[in-house]
Structure 1
């Protein structure tokens, strides 16, 4: 369907019953596939009793379980596609009604509307002012309706392309053009970059349109391609999550015991949070149209994950990556994190200009590519579990592998070859950052690291982190221990107990000030207190001393820091 050439007659002729019928067929197929997948496993139990043991029994049962899981995944794909079809039919029927109503209103007032949506008046010798005003009004209304339905149709077609299962082959086009191969499995950033570079422009477009999930999180691919792929997944991910939400809600409604004996209630809670995450991401895209969504992952974990860049990491001389800690989620705190990232990027550029380096550029990234410990959850005990998790290694170890690959991807995708990269690890994120710097697989592309509000970094010197001497920095707010009601940093206070290695506040790193100070640029800056103010703006409209310190390090101006 040619969206741009959609005519008035074409809109009138649009019918959505066929799409709804297809949705019903997909839903029926999904139900049958689920039933057949379950029946296959039941049949195994009937033919071979539970008492059947041994290697053959184990392999047979595992095979049937995997087949059932595959069947259920395919059924979910069908349900997602059906939900997308119903959503498109509902949305487009409303758009069609609005467009036709705008045309009919113009016709009722005696004007003419041609197939290209142009409104005109019958030939007359003169037109009264009120009539001319009415003509302008209908021109605006009909034109707006035409633009709206064309845009809605384009979005709908994209949504259907993303939602309808493609189980048959690699990406290709019906015109017989060369198909794009899949990216390497668990490829390094270098291998991923080579894969992207090997594709033709047409193949790249095929992947972005039909397989955006291949590229959105592909470390080493250009930031612009990752952005386009991730933005292209938002609508289909919303449809998928909404379908799953409705399915879980129906299951709980029909279950006498609610979710007491299943995980449905917890999964529903997390699904609703991911929908809220998508809404937050869309607001960020509207607020920062030049930003780059370098990661969008609503499938790998219980919570959504994302990374958002201010500036272009592929062309910037200096790139910073902020890694958050305890309690950070997309819907609750990612927008504030991106805003603070913007502050740091802007301040770093100002400091470069102040020192005669106007031509150098900064890109700053807010990275939430892992699941930090949380203080909230669907269950009554999740708060206790979350506060226990913040003293454990598991979340950091998993996140560190992803972060190390992300650092490597920035370095590999850079058009400059070797950009200056600064890691900013806050709270539990500082421990995750330090483990990523110690990951031997991708090497060490990070030049500077700043740890603030840190409970520990599993290291006592720069050498332990693969950094040059004097290139690791620590900040901790002054104050009485927060555990006894003071204004200190509760999470950083945990460093005293050595759960994650030597206390960073006493380790052999560069120690920077968080106190009120007049910085070398002559600006009076406020102190930081507690755990969350390090990178925030002060009440005087200037970044606090701690954030200023981060900005000059990001800009490669370590001689301008304020030391403790």
Structure 2
């Protein structure tokens, strides 16, 4: 139990210093994770070393990096406990000091055991004095009791924060929930759905407060548009690891139930096991993608449905030019790596026009894309995705410094162009300077100027043999009356008013980013880099 003397004389500045030191440690550990990826993993990948030993080395680097990530998260848990102790003990101490001062002013002496007696022993105590004395004793006892409770709760919490020999994300997630409850962090205080409010809230937190929210709510922070990219990446990687370990446990339980089930229920559990295995395979594919480059940032993650993820090549917060790519039908977590590779080719092509590091390319799979061409005839997925894309683009601009006027280009492939059209035609448009669409079935507008951008900042590619614009036009291209009849106007139509880029060499619906047929890729790279004069057009007017 905490005594009156201990609470009265406690130098709580030591706890404050400990909080600051643990905050610095967590930050340093975060930096070590990055150094392991770029300083060790990068050269390992660049060496093109292959074979079983190379695979083992890569797994070893990844495992060590994961252990450091766990250590960083545990450090945030420790500082959360220490910060909670410092704050609550300080409140109890100040209440005690106030009670002691009031006792002295009222002519009482307070003893070390908490008793309150008149300072003048010859003074006769009347009923009012005794009542006052008992009131002061209760007040002082309340402060001491509060300090004792805080001391016990924080000691218990610290006792569960112990190092493990492996990266135990289940234990780390439980630790995060424990210290969040102890600290009384309220999820309702975190602004949601407003990138401006999110950025303002984050800017108003001190380093230890930021670390505490990272410890308690990584998935929430990772999904918040308007926060710095490095913060979102750190939070989403923790959320990814915690989600994976939870799915592994769920799969084990489902397998046990499948094995124990009778013939009637066996099929249900077999389907469940298959679904969980597919979801885990998709997550492992995302992990492999993230290990493929030291310049990758995980700006969004969810395992719901087909899975969602947002992966940036390069940090968009510091890039001079940023491309945000929205994939189309059939896109999900399982094939995200293909989209990231497309953006990698775009970044490489853009280096013809810029210095290394000036372009960031983001694969935005932040929506539930249609699974099949039949589903893609509906606009419901685009309508649901549009506000999400709009919020994300605004968040990118805020993180860059929205007054900086840096160059953002949004790129849509196939149904992704429908999502962009639905976003851009809404009130206020989207935060982007240029729009590029490839293989577009329509954008829900008949004129490029209806996308809330100058028409000459809308760029269109349609390769030979790509049947999607024609097939999807009935669902996503408005009908326009001509002198003789009505017809559907897709973005690649002359009357749409956009710049029609050449795609010589590309064929069909999926070769717009192929290195073997670079004309489409080079044109897009020129737009992304703001080198409009380098584009090759079939028609249109360059800015």
TM over 0.5: yes
Q: Are residues 1:393 and 2:379 paired?
A: yes
- TM-score after normalising by structure 2: 0.62
Alpha carbons 2:191, 2:197 under 8 Å: kept: no
Q: Are residues 1:449 and 2:435 paired?
A: yes
Matches within 5 A, 1:372-387: 372-374=369-371, 386-387=372-373
Alpha carbons 1:171, 1:180 under 8 Å: kept: no
Name the structure 2 match of 1:558.
532
Q: Post-superposition shift, 1:271?
A: 2.7
Classify the secondary structure of the residue corresponding to 2:324: strand
Name the structure 1 match of 2:469.
492
Whole-angstrom CA distance in 2 between matches of 1:453 and 1:529: 11
Q: Post-superposition shift, 1:151?
A: 9.2
Between 1 and 2, higher relative CO (CA 8 Å, sep ≥ 6) is seen in: 2
Q: Post-superposition shift, 1:531?
A: 0.6
Matches within 5 A, 1:143-182: 153=165, 155-156=167-168, 159-163=170-174, 166=177, 172=183
Name the structure 2 match of 1:195.
201
Alpha carbons 1:311, 1:363 under 8 Å: kept: yes
Structure 1 residues 453 and 335, CA gap change in structure 2 (3 angstroms): same
Q: Post-superposition shift, 1:181?
A: 6.2
Whole-angstrom CA distance in 2 between matches of 1:449 and 1:531: 19
Whole-angstrom CA distance in 2 between matches of 1:500 and 1:319: 28
Deviations 1:251-275 (A, max 9, x none): 4441533476x6x665544432221
Q: Are residues 1:326 and 2:314 paired?
A: no
Name the structure 1 match of 2:318.
315
Name the structure 1 match of 2:515.
537
Classify the secondary structure of the residue corresponding to 2:305: coil
Larger radius of gyration: 2
Q: Are residues 1:276 and 2:281 paired?
A: yes
Structure 1 residues 537 and 350, CA gap change in structure 2 (3 angstroms): same
Q: Are residues 1:257 and 2:235 paired?
A: no
Name the structure 1 match of 2:301.
296
Whole-angstrom CA distance in 2 between matches of 1:363 and 1:329: 21
Whole-angstrom CA distance in 1 between matches of 2:377 and 2:250: 33
Whole-angstrom CA distance in 2 between matches of 1:447 and 1:341: 18
Matches within 5 A, 1:18-167: 153=165, 155-156=167-168, 159-163=170-174, 166=177
- TM-score after normalising by structure 1: 0.60
Deviations 1:162-217 (A, max 9, x none): 14683795573xxxxx9576553533110110111111101111222232112111
Name the structure 2 match of 1:49.
none
Alpha carbons 1:312, 1:363 under 8 Å: kept: yes
Structure 1 residues 389 and 170, CA gap change in structure 2 (3 angstroms): same
Alpha carbons 1:170, 1:182 under 8 Å: kept: no
Instruction: Name stretches of at least 5 consecutive residues in structure 1 with no aligned partner.
Output: 5-90, 93-149, 173-177, 353-357, 375-385, 479-487, 517-526
Alpha carbons 2:377, 2:472 under 8 Å: kept: no
Aligned-residue CA RMSD (Å): 3.0
Whole-angstrom CA distance in 1 between matches of 2:450 and 2:273: 43
Name the structure 1 match of 2:26.
none
Q: Post-superposition shift, 1:159?
A: 4.1
Matches within 5 A, 1:373-522: 373-374=370-371, 386-415=372-401, 417=403, 418-440=405-427, 444-478=430-464, 488-501=465-478, 502-506=489-493, 507-516=495-504
Whole-angstrom CA distance in 2 between matches of 1:259 and 1:561: 59
Deviations 1:450-481 (A, max 9, x none): 11111111112232111123111111112xxx
Q: Post-superposition shift, 1:537?
A: 1.1
Whole-angstrom CA distance in 2 between matches of 1:152 and 1:514: 57
How many residue pairs get aligned? The number is 368
Structure richer in helix, relative to its length? 2
Whole-angstrom CA distance in 2 between matches of 1:392 and 1:347: 34
Name the structure 2 match of 1:522.
none
Q: Are residues 1:218 and 2:244 paired?
A: no
Name the structure 1 match of 2:367.
370
Alpha carbons 2:463, 2:503 under 8 Å: kept: yes
Deviations 1:249-300 (A, max 9, x none): 444441533476x6x66554443222112211211222112211101111xx
Whole-angstrom CA distance in 2 between matches of 1:182 and 1:154: 34
Whole-angstrom CA distance in 2 between matches of 1:336 and 1:220: 27
Deviations 1:518-544 (A, max 9, x none): xxxxxxxxx110110001211xxxx61
Instruction: Name stretches of at least 5 consecutive residues in structure 2 with no aligned partner.
Output: 1-21, 23-65, 68-161, 479-488, 539-543
Whole-angstrom CA distance in 1 between matches of 2:344 and 2:163: 31
Q: Post-superposition shift, 1:347?
A: 1.7
